[in-house]
């Protein structure tokens, strides 16, 4: 005989739990400025303006991290399900974006949805998606949440309700533009870049009034006629030169400079735009009040390999050769790690990270300019050039680095693969008129049989040396997080969320989430409990090469599964004897 139990009141219980967090207070600019020691929140894309992704928490440490267990799982649903965002946390509420530029507010303790927002992106805009419908995060300022959309709008939402406060078109998506990066809130403004480097755009960063959505300034990263650097573009090639700004910048309040990374030059066939093509494949420093470019540095002048320079820069004051230098740290898609003086853009030092780099023979020790191997540059209508190392997927792509300011060690993914590149004849492709593909090239990516494709690296910045390297038979495609306790968190394409010993690289904990990790982990402490959040879900570029499940889940971990709680709805469970006939 089998008994039948009736479960009552689940919906009521879920609603009650979802309503627990009251309306959170506003996020002031000063809160973001002073976020360094705020361990209960994660208020901006990189946690702090300098981009360290370092948290001074020690409850989870190398001796007990093996006890991490899931506390809750939040599914984002949707058609694409790729999660590449960094979740934000404010007063017990998580704010996170997902594919199709959707936004969720989630109870940070229970994982219960508080509200969600769908921008209802124009379906026709899919034709200008380079690499899937990705969104890498939101921004918080005052009482609003800000998100960029795949059809090139910037939207402000009420952070307590998800209602639209304002919705501003940044530019016409039909010209090849979209927005995939997290906005950056600075002072009383919200800044955004744009994607579209493969569609003949001209990249820029725009600043908007956070209260009204009115435009404050626009900074084009490709100089026009009469502007310094325009001479590095032949003819009118600057008009469609790419230079997408599709990730998130960093900010130095003392210098009043915003640092933004710039993507590849367009078209991929570099033979039609001979010259340095400023400021593509580089970094620009912008005056925060005016948007004026104070300085620029190119990692790959005359980019002939689609070497976007887009991972968010790290700002750190570092002792180098006995002197403290205000540095900007950057690991580039081209396979080199760079240290710049962030006050003026001068090259400090660089080092090869990817084994077997062959597009360049090295870097000029004084200027950092690459010593290009001309044998690795294709000719229009000529044969495929292969193998070029690294490939256009790069050592790193958009994924954020993590830096421990106490040790001077920086942590980042650095994959190793090769490619073949073939340029079309120049009369076989035309300049885009309505955001069509503007490549003029074909490529093929190769996995190198002699070297594992995946690598995660620890680099000692002051001492200019690699400390350790963790390899993997599949690429790492996630951001990094480091804590005071000596742990580094990241994820891999097998779907493992993982914790590494920050000093040795030894894996201390792994949890298979069911889908590759392509987002960035964060950690916070509430009610005396330290949580680690992992977005899990494949999206974007990796779907071109791998067929693992896409999933789309945000997973919270804590020691031993966190504080003991009754399961949702248990308080309303009721057994009613004899209410239904017995079966069996």
Catalytically active residues, by annotation:
306
Helix (H, G, I), strand (E, B) or coil at 154: strand
- Comparing C-alpha atoms, which of 358, 545, 363, 533 is closest to residue 445? 545
Nearest-Å Rg of the Cα atoms of the chain is 24
User: Residue 552: which residues within 8 A CB-CB, separation 6 or more?
Assistant: 75, 76, 77, 78, 80, 81, 82, 83, 98, 99, 515, 536, 537
Residue 319 in contact with residue 407, Cβ under 8 Å? no
Alpha carbon of residue 113 to chain centroid: 23
Residue 115 in contact with residue 122, Cβ under 8 Å? no
Distance CA 173, CA 183 (A): 17
Residue 510 in contact with residue 501, Cβ under 8 Å? no
Where does residue 578 rank: exposed (0-12), middle (13-18), buried (19+ CB within 10 A)?
exposed
Distance CA 243, CA 129 (A): 16
Query: CA 64, 69, 75, 79: dihedral to nearest 10 degrees?
Result: 70
DSSP H or E segment with residue 472: strand 465-472
User: Residue 581: which residues within 8 A CB-CB, separation 6 or more?
Assistant: none
Q: Quote the strand ranges of 273-335, DSSP E.
A: 282-287, 293-298, 314-320, 323-331
């Amino acid at each position: 005989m089998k008994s039948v139990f009736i479960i009552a009141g689940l919906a009521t219980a879920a609603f009650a739990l979802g309503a627990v967090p009251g309306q959170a207070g506003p996020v002031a600019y000063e809160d973001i400025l002073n976020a360094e020691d705020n361990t209960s929140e994660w208020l901006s894309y990189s946690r702090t303006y300098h981009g360290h992704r370092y948290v001074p928490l020690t409850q989870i440490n190398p001796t007990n991290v093996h006890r991490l267990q899931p506390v809750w799982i939040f599914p984002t649903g949707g058609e694409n399900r790729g999660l590449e965002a960094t979740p934000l946390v404010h007063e017990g509420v998580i704010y996170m974006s997902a594919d199709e530029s959707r936004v969720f507010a989630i109870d940070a303790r229970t994982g219960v949805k508080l509200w969600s927002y769908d921008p209802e992106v124009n379906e026709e805009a899919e034709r200008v998606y380079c690499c899937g419908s990705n969104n890498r995060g939101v921004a918080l300022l005052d009482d609003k949440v800000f998100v960029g959309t795949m059809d090139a709008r910037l939207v402000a939402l009420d952070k307590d309700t998800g209602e639209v406060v304002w919705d501003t078109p940044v530019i016409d998506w039909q010209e090849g533009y979209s927005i995939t990066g997290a906005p950056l809130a600075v002072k009383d403004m919200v800044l955004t870049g744009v994607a579209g480097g493969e569609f003949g755009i001209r990249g820029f960063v725009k600043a908007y009034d956070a209260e009204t959505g009115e435009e404050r300034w626009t900074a084009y990263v490709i100089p026009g006629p009469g502007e310094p650097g325009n001479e590095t573009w032949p003819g009118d090639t600057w008009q469609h030169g790419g230079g997408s700004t599709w990730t998130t910048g960093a900010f130095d309040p003392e210098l009043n400079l915003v640092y933004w990374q710039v993507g590849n030059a367009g078209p991929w066939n570099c033979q039609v735009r001979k010259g340095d093509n400023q400021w593509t494949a580089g970094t620009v420093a912008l005056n925060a009040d005016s948007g004026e470019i104070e300085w620029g540095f190119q990692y790959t002048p005359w980019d002939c390999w689609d070497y976007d320079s887009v991972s968010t820069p790290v700002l750190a004051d570092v002792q180098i050769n006995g002197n403290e230098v205000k540095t900007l740290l950057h690991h580039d898609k081209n396979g080199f790690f760079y240290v710049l003086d962030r006050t003026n853009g001068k090259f400090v030092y660089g080092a090869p990270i990817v084994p077997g780099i062959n597009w360049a023979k090295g870097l000029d020790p004084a200027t950092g300019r690459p010593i290009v191997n001309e044998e690795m540059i294709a000719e229009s209508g000529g044969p495929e050039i292969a193998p070029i190392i690294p490939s256009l997927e790069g050592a790193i792509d958009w994924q954020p680095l993590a830096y421990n300011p106490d040790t001077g060690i920086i942590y980042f993914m650095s994959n190793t693969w090769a490619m073949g590149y073939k340029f079309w004849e120049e009369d076989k492709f035309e300049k885009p008129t309505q955001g069509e593909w503007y490549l003029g090239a074909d490529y093929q990516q190769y996995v190198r049989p002699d070297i594992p494709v995946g690598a995660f690296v620890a680099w000692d910045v002051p001492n200019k040396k690699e400390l350790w390297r963790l390899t993997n038979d599949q690429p790492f495609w996630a951001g990094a997080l480091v804590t005071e306790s000596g742990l580094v968190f990241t994820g891999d394409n097998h779907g493992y969320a993982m914790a590494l010993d920050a000093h040795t690289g030894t894996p201390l904990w792994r949890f298979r989430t069911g889908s590759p990790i392509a987002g960035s982990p964060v950690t916070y402490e509430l009610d005396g409990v330290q949580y680690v959040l992992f977005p899990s879900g494949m999206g974007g570029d990796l779907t071109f090469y791998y067929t693992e499940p896409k999933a789309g889940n945000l997973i919270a971990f804590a020691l031993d599964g966190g504080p003991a709680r009754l399961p949702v709805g248990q308080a309303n469970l009721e057994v009613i004897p004899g209410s239904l006939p017995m079966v069996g």
